[in-house]
């Protein structure tokens, strides 16, 4: 299955999506309205999602709608507005290209070209979109198998562009309670098989706002590289997909729950304290597990007749952590904090020998 793809695109390609934040170790969060509707709407949304920690902006300018009577998008004006939002926020723009004729135009404005579900097997579009020199996000077709999805991706990579991100957005099943069914197992399998980054779009998968938080958590827990989430200033009045767009407050809440809300987004003392309390609870649970593990190390060392203090190991550990913190935590602070943790471990281990 899609052998060329597997051979050609190892996970390291994630580094090539650096502009999108892929490969940074933090999930990419592409957020924005289903459709670009007006300057006010897209600018307000771009600023709100940026403040909440989104890493890219979405918004459709060319919309694939089930009915020709539905809103079809603002076309080039929508692209221009997306570029304006990027200029104001610095967020890269992900937007759909529906037709091979539109590639040059969309590529002029967008940072990532989205190929939508309904076009997943539009082979003319796939071959040409690969030549635009921009990363491509390929959404899974409504009823495409993994093999068909990866085959479609291979059309893009075969034209010399290995910057392909796959997006699972729900498939059609017998279930009618949700718009589609999020197929997380295929998302995980596609990631394993292709080596390409895979993101999940819980908005189109569920078609309902209330399920978005749980599906987002599930996707990230499964090791998925990111999420695409529809966010609108006033979802009830959205010109497309009104039921599945989060308002700003719900998106911010979700980012907080995912641990992705930037500290700068916390505006009151109460909000900061609530976040500190939440983090402290996580830290103490980790410290308890760390202490139990250190005691076990102590038992194993005692049995083997090894000393409690192994300086080389402590230095190596501190160096590794400093690298991991990447300057976000001053080296002295890191040393002081872990100095206390390591000292506590030593005391616990010495106590075992008495």
Footprint on this chain of Mn ion (rule: CB under 5 A) = 34, 241
- Residue 169, binding choice from Mn ion, ligand PEP, none, Cβ under 5 to 8 Å by partner class: ligand PEP
CA angle at residue 241 from 130 to 107, to 5 degrees? 25
Residue length of the chain: 354
Q: Which is nearer to ligand PEP, 50 or 204 (CB)?
A: 204
- Residue 96, binding choice from Mn ion, ligand PEP, none, Cβ under 5 to 8 Å by partner class: ligand PEP
Maximum alpha-carbon separation in the chain? 81
Are 227 and 251 a contacting pair, CB within 8 Å?
no
Q: Which is nearer to Mn ion, 5 or 34 (CB)?
A: 34
Site residues, ligand PEP (CB under 6 A) = 34, 60, 64, 96, 116-117, 139, 169, 204
For residue 139, the minimal CB distance to ligand PEP (Å) is 4
For residue 96, the minimal CB distance to ligand PEP (Å) is 6
For residue 269, the minimal CB distance to ligand PEP (Å) is 38
Please state the separation of Cα 102 from the chain's center in Å: 27
- Residue 64, binding choice from Mn ion, ligand PEP, none, Cβ under 5 to 8 Å by partner class: ligand PEP
Q: Which is nearer to ligand PEP, 60 or 151 (CB)?
A: 60
For residue 139, the minimal CB distance to Mn ion (Å) is 11
For residue 331, the minimal CB distance to ligand PEP (Å) is 43
For residue 297, the minimal CB distance to Mn ion (Å) is 52
Distance CA 107, CA 97 (A): 9
Q: Which two tokens stand for residue 351?
A: 């106590």
For residue 258, the minimal CB distance to Mn ion (Å) is 21
Residue closest to ligand PEP when measured from CB atoms: 116
Side-chain half-sphere of 100: how many Cα atoms within 13 Å? 11
Q: Which two tokens stand for residue 206?
A: 């569920």
SS3 195: coil
Q: Which residues have a Cβ under 8 Å from the Cβ of 22 and sit 6 or more positions away?
A: 14, 28, 165, 197, 225, 226
Residue closest to Mn ion when measured from CB atoms: 34
Q: Which is nearer to ligand PEP, 102 or 349 (CB)?
A: 102
Are 185 and 16 a contacting pair, CB within 8 Å?
no
DSSP classification of residue 207: -
Beta pairing partners, 32: 230
- Residue 117, binding choice from Mn ion, ligand PEP, none, Cβ under 5 to 8 Å by partner class: ligand PEP
- Residue 139, binding choice from Mn ion, ligand PEP, none, Cβ under 5 to 8 Å by partner class: ligand PEP
Q: Which is nearer to ligand PEP, 203 or 345 (CB)?
A: 203
Q: Which is nearer to ligand PEP, 34 or 209 (CB)?
A: 34
DSSP string over 142-206:
TT--HHHHHHHHHHHHHTT---EEEEE--B--S--SSSSB--HHHHHHHHHHH---EEE-HHHHH
Q: Which is nearer to Mn ion, 6 or 178 (CB)?
A: 178
From the CB of residue 169, how many other CB atoms can be counted at a distance below 10 Å? 23
């Amino acid at each position: 299955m899609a052998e060329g793809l597997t051979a050609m695109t190892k996970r390291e390609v994630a580094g090539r999506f650096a502009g999108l934040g892929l490969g940074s170790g933090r999930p990419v969060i592409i957020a924005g309205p289903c459709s670009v509707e007006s300057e006010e709407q897209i600018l307000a949304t771009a600023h709100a999602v940026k403040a909440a920690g989104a890493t890219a902006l979405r918004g459709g300018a060319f919309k694939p709608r089930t009915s020709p009577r539905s809103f079809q998008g603002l076309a080039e004006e929508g692209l221009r507005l997306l570029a304006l939002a990027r200029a104001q926020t610095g967020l890269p723009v992900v937007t759909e290209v529906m037709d091979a004729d539109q590639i040059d135009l969309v590529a002029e404005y967008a940072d990532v070209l989205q190929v939508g579900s309904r076009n997943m097997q539009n082979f003319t579009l796939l071959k040409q979109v690969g030549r635009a020199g921009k990363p491509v996000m390929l959404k899974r077709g409504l009823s495409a198998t993994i093999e068909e999805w990866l085959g479609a991706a291979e059309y893009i990579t075969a034209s010399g562009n290995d910057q392909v991100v796959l997006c699972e957005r729900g498939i059609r099943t017998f279930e009618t309670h949700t718009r589609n069914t999020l197929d997380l197992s295929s998302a995980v399998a596609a990631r394993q098989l292709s080596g390409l980054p895979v993101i999940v779009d819980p908005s189109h998968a569920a078609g309902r706002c209330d399920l978005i938080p749980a599906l987002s958590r599930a996707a990230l827990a499964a090791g998925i590289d990111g999420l695409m989430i529809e966010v609108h200033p006033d979802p009830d009045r959205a010109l497309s997909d009104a039921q599945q767009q989060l308002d700003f407050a719900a998106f911010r809440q979700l980012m907080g729950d995912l641990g992705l809300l930037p500290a700068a987004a916390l505006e009151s003392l109460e909000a900061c304290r609530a976040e500190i309390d939440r983090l402290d609870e996580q830290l103490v649970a980790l410290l308890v597990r760390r202490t139990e593990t250190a005691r076990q190390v102590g038992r194993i060392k005692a049995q083997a007749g090894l000393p409690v203090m192994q300086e080389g190991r402590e230095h190596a550990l501190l160096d590794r952590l400093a690298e991991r913190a990447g300057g976000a935590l001053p080296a002295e602070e890191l040393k002081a904090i872990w100095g206390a943790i390591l000292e506590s471990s030593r005391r616990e281990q010495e106590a075992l020998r008495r």
